Amino acid sequence: MENKENTKVLQDAIIDVPGIKVGHSQNLKAGTGCTVVICEKGATAGVDVRGGAPGTRETDLLNPVNLVDKAHAIYLSGGSAFGLDGATGVMKYLEEKGIGLDVVLTKVPIVPGAVLFDLGVGDYRIRPDARMGYDACLNASEEEVRQGNVGAGTGATVGKIFGGFRCMKSGLGTASFKSQELIVGAIVAVNCLGDVIDPESGEIIAGVLTENKKEFANTMSFLKNFPQRSGSSFPTNTTIGVIATNAKLTKAGATKAAMMAQDGYARTISPAHTMFDGDTIFCMATGEVEGGANVVGAIAAEVMARAIVKAVKSTESLYGLLSYKDLQKR
């Protein structure tokens, strides 16, 4: 009988990695939400934080010199630092399912996470909380492939060098790559200060707009032409994502793969990793097939770049903000 995993139709999404589930919960009126990536048996995990304004939890735990080497879920959320509360709901759900690090008295779910800033999009008084995190877990499945205004991407925007006045709507994207038995997937909520560039064409596809909102103002051109002006920039950004793979990686290898995946940000976001972004990437390795960190990391950078482009191209206009699709209609 054929292996079910070998006959599964690929969805070009992170759920193509066997054992990975994705769930979302969002409040469209408030303009925020969260996304959870679950591996019930635990995955060797690493993380890389490049931006200057991160909001994270349990990232120190993923340092290769520290004890615990497996995570059971990664939590991505809007709500700025308030949104970290949602991870409590993820832990509650996993503990109820008997999933976590066995400490005899109970099992402690390991749930690292990161948040982005979306408070200015909808109602800043409503943020992802424990209930929303729990609901995201209830919604989690191996079939979830939605993109755009969903989960952690609900309130995501890009091109904010002038604040929120001329930015564009962004969202959540996912992609995957398979070669022989190796699978690498990515999921990302794109919420950057800079513009998003399609690496295939080299053209800006979303970002800061001119005053008439008909063309791109080009963030890098502004920075180069007016180097002593910072515009209205505040740490109201951050792109957060997860790489998952079925490769066997050590904790150090997963960390290196996460580091290399940051090249996907650099190829598609201009500029990336600023002091106004908290750019973070997690890596989850389920350990089913051979595949070193060099291979996984190099592929992960390409897959992450594609997921970012898909996030922008999948998003619909919301909250009075133009999307990529709106510009294509003109």
Which CATH number goes with the domain that contains 21?
3.60.70.12
Does the residue 144 lie in any domain? yes
Does the residue 306 lie in any domain? yes
- Which letter, b or e, does each residue of 115-141 get, where b requires 16 or more Cβ atoms within 10 Å of its Cβ? bbbbbbbbebebbbbbebbbbbbebbe
Instruction: Determine whether 87 is exposed, middle or buried from the number of CB atoms within 10 Å of its CB (0-12, 13-18, 19+).
Output: buried
Structure confidence by residue, pLDDT tens digits, 208-259? 999 888 889 998 998 888 775 655 556 688 999 999 999 999 999 999 999 9
- Which letter, b or e, does each residue of 69-84 get, where b requires 16 or more Cβ atoms within 10 Å of its Cβ? bbbbbbbbbbbbebbb
Does the residue 170 lie in any domain? yes
Does the residue 1 lie in any domain? no
Does the residue 210 lie in any domain? yes
Spatial distance between the Cα atoms of 105 and 89, rounded to a whole number of angstroms: 20
pLDDT of residue 2: 44
Does the residue 330 lie in any domain? no
pLDDT of residue 198: 96
Structure pTM? Answer: 0.94
Structure confidence by residue, pLDDT tens digits, 245-280? 999 999 999 999 999 999 999 999 999 999 889 999
Give how many domains the chain has, as a whole number: 1
* Domain, as residue range, for 191: 7-325
- With DSSP H G I counted as helix, E B as strand and the rest as coil, what are the percentages for the chain, rounded to 5? 30, 30, 45
Token pair belonging to 238: 């951050």
Does the residue 120 lie in any domain? yes
